[in-house]
Structure 1
Amino acid sequence: MDLTLPPGGILIGIGTDLIEVDRVRGVLERQGERFLNRVFTDEERAYCGSMKYPHKHYAARFAAKEAVSKCFGTGIGVELGWRSVSIYHGPRHQPLVRLDEQGQALLRHVGATHVHVSLSHTDTMAMAVAVLVDNRPRSLG
């Protein structure tokens, strides 16, 4: 009998967030560069800024950062900053998470190896779901 775990790993944490797109648009209009510099990485700003409706993409990334912070159980703050989490696209245009050194240290601390994220947005709402997994090979026996 094979007692190894199936591919995918062990779930360590899960987080989700939902935000109104107009809330992000309003902050962008009021605070502009100050908000962008505080919350988003250069990588995220380049991507969102190239889109026809950047506020929708910023809102989805804002939700993703919140969802990731909830996976860790920390929220955004001392242990994990806004810019510790960067959302970028993989080869199939799938959203991927890049963590800075602070985020990588937290990932190791909670015993996870990867952060997976899913984003979605409409004209009015943006949402994200994030999960922490440990996918190191191990057997159950």
Structure 2
Amino acid sequence: MNILGTGVDIVETSRIASSLEKHGDRFLARVFLDGERAYCSKMATPSQCYAARFAAKEAVSKAFGTGIGASLGWLDIEVRRKASGEPFVILHGEGAKTAARLGITEIRLSLSHSDHYAVAHALALGA
């Protein structure tokens, strides 16, 4: 397995909290899938959870070398957790097509957050 791309992103949790406060469901529906919303809404501090997933989506887009846009949209990237707690990515729509075109067969993801920041690192792997 070769590393085809790497991406990292850091987000101020206050920025996400502000977007949640200002735009509410409209912001959530534009950036996060239903499963992500259900998971984060159960957390003691949902804005930290959303910030980590926002950073993850940005990190994945950087690992792909595309950024967020026509080839890889917000809703093409879904961040989930295994029973062990390890985060993982599922690609949908154009994201899955772009991964196939680029030869990306696996994405490794690491997330972390504190009161003020969330950070994500993504590795795009392939043959």
Tell me the equivalent position of 1:72: 64
Match of 2:103 in 1: 111
Match for 1:46: what amino acid? A
**Unmatched segments (≥5 aa) in structure 1:** 1-8, 137-141
d(CA) in 1 for partners of 2:83, 2:49: 18
Q: Within 5 A, what are the aligned runs for 1:3-22? A: 9-22=1-14
Identical aligned residues as a percent: 46
Give the equivalent residue in structure 1 for 2:112. 120
Query: Could you tell me which of 19, 26, 33 is aligned with 1:34?
Result: 26
C-alpha offsets along residues 89-133 of structure 1, whole Å, 9 cap, x if unaligned? 112110010100211111111111111110000000000000100
Q: Structure 2: how far apart are the matches of 1:86 and 1:51?
A: 18
Unaligned runs of at least 5 residues, structure 2: none
Deviation readout 1:10-50 (Å, 9 max, x if unpaired): 00000000010000000100000000000000010000001
SS of the counterpart of 1:68? helix
> Whole-Å Cα distance in 2 between the matches of residues 106 and 49 of structure 1?
30
Cα distance in 2, alignment partners of residues 69 and 78 from structure 1: 11
Larger proportion of strand: 2
Measured on the aligned residues, the alpha-carbon RMSD in Å equals 0.8
Structure 1 outlier segments of 4+, above 3 Å = none
Q: Distance in 2 between matches of 1:126 and 1:116?
A: 17
TM-score normalised to the size of structure 2?
A: 0.97
Letter in 1 for 2:55: A
- The aligned amino acid for 1:88 is R
1 or 2, which has the higher helix percentage? 2
Separation of aligned partners in 1, 2:8 and 2:38: 24
Number of residue pairs the alignment of both structures matches: 127
